[in-house]
Structure formats: C-alpha cells, structure tokens
C-alpha cells in the first residue's frame, strides 16, 4: 500500500520517554504495512494537566491535542506513542485514541505489556499488541470505524484478551475501504 501518491509521510512521535528500540521497530512495522518508510519526530513532553491523580492515569484527549498542535507540514498521519496508562472520562481505560478521519492518533504502551497484569515480560506478544493497536488507531484516522469481524485489526478491543484474539490485518472490506479513501484523496 502506498498511503499517499503526493509524497506525504507517516510519522511516529514519542510523547514522554519511550524506548528507542520500540519506536524503531514500530516504524518498521507500520512502514511494512503501508509500503513506505515511516519517520520519527522528536519526542515531545507529556502535556501538563493531562494527569488525573484521582485515577492515576493520563487523559488521552489532552495528549492527542498536544500531538495535533505540532504536526509537521507534509504529514499524512502522526502516531503518538506514550508509555503511560490512558483514560477518557467515560471509560476506565483506553489503549489509544484517534481523530476519526483526522491526522493524529495515539497509542499507550502501558496495558500492552504483560508486566501491567503482574506477568513476566513477553516482548514478542507486546510488539504484536502494539502493531495491532497502532494499525487500529491509524485506521481510524483514515475514517475506518470498528469492524464487526473479530479477525480484523479494526475490531473493538475492550480488554487485552480482545487485542490478543483479533487478527493482525484489516479484513477485506476494511482494506478495500482504506484503499478507496487513500486513492480518492478523502483521507
């Protein structure tokens, strides 16, 4: 897939401290999926005011807005990566958030790690989860909504088990919809 014939690029932006090896691997995974190099933007600070001490979590929308405030010219999409537990007011937690049909998405590493659940680290499982959730949130930026097929990466994940059960790719219908949006310039 070539996301934009006009040469616009996808970027990954760490928000707060994120291991460089994670960012590099994620860039390669996203690049393989979309068929082009994905670039890294310099890390930005976690925005003040995003932390909710009552919940011991960060509000994802505040971080998403901060990433949106610094989108480089020529960016097709920007995926923010944060190593903090995220929430929105109406949900206990979120794995990520995205602008539906917009430019920016955000993924949290926190609940994708086995250690969050008191289990030993499992790097292959962590990266599989990160890839799925990153493609899921980027899919939203291209206008894709949640898919009813549990094998599709756009399937809604309410729990980590949902993330593990869903597939690693878009289903045929979601893939066709993504291609049509990208080729039609409506992305």
* Known active-site residue 183: no
- Pairwise CA distance, residues 21 & 164, whole Å: 22
| CA 48 to centroid of chain Cα atoms | 21
CB 104 within 8 A of CB 64: yes
DSSP letter for each residue of 51-93: EETTTTEEEHHHHHHHHHTTPPTTEEEEEEEE-S-EEETTEEE
Pairing assessment for the beta strands 104-108 and 75-82 based on DSSP bridges: parallel
DSSP 185: T
Task: From the candidates 40, 48, 137, 169, give the one annotated as an active-site residue.
Answer: 137
Two structure tokens written together for 90: 């109406």
Name the residues annotated as catalytic: 137
């Amino acid at each position: 897939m070539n996301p934009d014939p006009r040469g616009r690029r996808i970027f990954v932006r760490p928000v707060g401290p994120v291991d460089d090896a994670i960012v590099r691997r994620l860039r390669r995974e996203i690049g393989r999926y979309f068929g082009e190099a994905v670039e890294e933007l310099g890390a930005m600070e976690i925005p003040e005011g995003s932390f909710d001490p009552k919940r011991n979590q960060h509000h994802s929308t505040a971080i998403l807005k901060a990433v949106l405030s610094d989108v480089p010219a020529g960016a097709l999409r920007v995926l923010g990566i944060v190593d903090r537990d995220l929430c929105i007011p109406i949900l206990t937690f979120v794995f990520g958030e995205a602008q539906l049909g917009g430019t920016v998405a955000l993924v949290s590493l926190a609940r994708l790690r086995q250690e969050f659940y008191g289990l030993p680290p499992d790097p292959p499982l962590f990266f599989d989860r990160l890839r799925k959730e990153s493609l899921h949130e980027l899919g939203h930026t291209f206008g894709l909504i949640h898919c009813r097929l549990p094998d599709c990466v756009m399937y809604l994940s309410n729990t980590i088990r949902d993330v593990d059960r869903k597939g690693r790719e878009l289903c045929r219908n979601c893939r066709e919809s993504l291609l049509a949006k990208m080729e039609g310039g409506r992305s």
